[in-house]
Amino acid sequence: MEADTRARWGAVLTLVVGALASFAGACGGDMGGRPGGSYANNGGRPQCGALGVACVGQKLDAPIALGGTFELDVRYQIAGSSGPPTTIFSAAPSVLRVDGARLTAVGQGVSAVLFLGPDDGVLDFLHLWVQPATELRIIRYTPAGAPLGRVQPAIKLLVHDELLIAVEPFANGQPLAGNFELTRTLQGTSVAIVPDSVSGWYRVVARTPGTTQVRLGALGLSTDWSIEVEP
């Protein structure tokens, strides 16, 4: 009976839960984390709910960084119906706190996230992990948003060069999901670093010859970056 019911529901209901970063536009301040474009373009298989009736449309392929936030975008495809009103519910508030569609990672561990329908019944659920970050990495992207790779701790630019970067958390070599407040301190005036107009990218613009020491901080970690600009 259960298998038939699941199969019928699986055919009728496809719940698409997307994980979207909420960066500068939504949050106002300077934010770090994996840019939203990478979620849509990284080409991995989507994760599905534990009951097999819901899937994650965009990749939820990593733990969320402890102290970070994660915005859930819930979408449904139900034959004969629009998506029902949904409430997101955390099984363990000591691990994940929920405010509307935003999750805040407050404790290390795992917590199920339940998607509740208008009758307060469970449509499906996913388990999400929270992990403390051990390292911040600077990742360079193309103007189209494709990741190019990790930026070296010391680089050289020519005047008028421009880089598109993001500061992303890792734990023991594994990239972490989530967004967080990012601080940046510059010693020197040879470069300017400004948030991009969308997502979590930053534009690094070489302005005048000289050297600038950059310190980027988030989630209780920091990373140093030396940029030398040549004429």
Q: For residue 227, give the amino acid letter.
A: I
**Is residue 61 packed enough to be buried (19+ CB in 10 Å), middle (13-18) or exposed (0-12)?**
middle
Q: Using the minimum distance from each CB to another protein, give the nearer residue, 5 or 42.
A: 5
**What is the smallest separation between the CB atom of 172 and another protein, expressed in angstroms?**
15
**What is the smallest separation between the CB atom of 160 and another protein, expressed in angstroms?**
48
Q: Using the minimum distance from each CB to another protein, give the nearer residue, 123 or 219.
A: 123
Q: List residues near another protein by CB under 8 A.
A: 2, 5-6, 9, 50-51, 53, 89, 91-95, 109-112, 114, 116-117, 119-123, 125, 127, 129
**What is the smallest separation between the CB atom of 221 and another protein, expressed in angstroms?**
24
Q: Using the minimum distance from each CB to another protein, give the nearer residue, 120 or 149.
A: 120
Q: Using the minimum distance from each CB to another protein, give the nearer residue, 89 or 161.
A: 89
Cα-based distances in Å from 162 to 79, 85, 143, 165, 193: 48, 44, 10, 10, 10
Q: Using the minimum distance from each CB to another protein, give the nearer residue, 2 or 99.
A: 2
Distance (Å, whole) CA 18 – CA 28: 22
Distance (Å, whole) CA 137 – CA 222: 9
**What is the smallest separation between the CB atom of 88 and another protein, expressed in angstroms?**
13
**Is residue 81 packed enough to be buried (19+ CB in 10 Å), middle (13-18) or exposed (0-12)?**
exposed
Cα-based distances in Å from 5 to 10, 11, 16, 69, 77: 8, 10, 19, 35, 17
**What is the smallest separation between the CB atom of 217 and another protein, expressed in angstroms?**
29
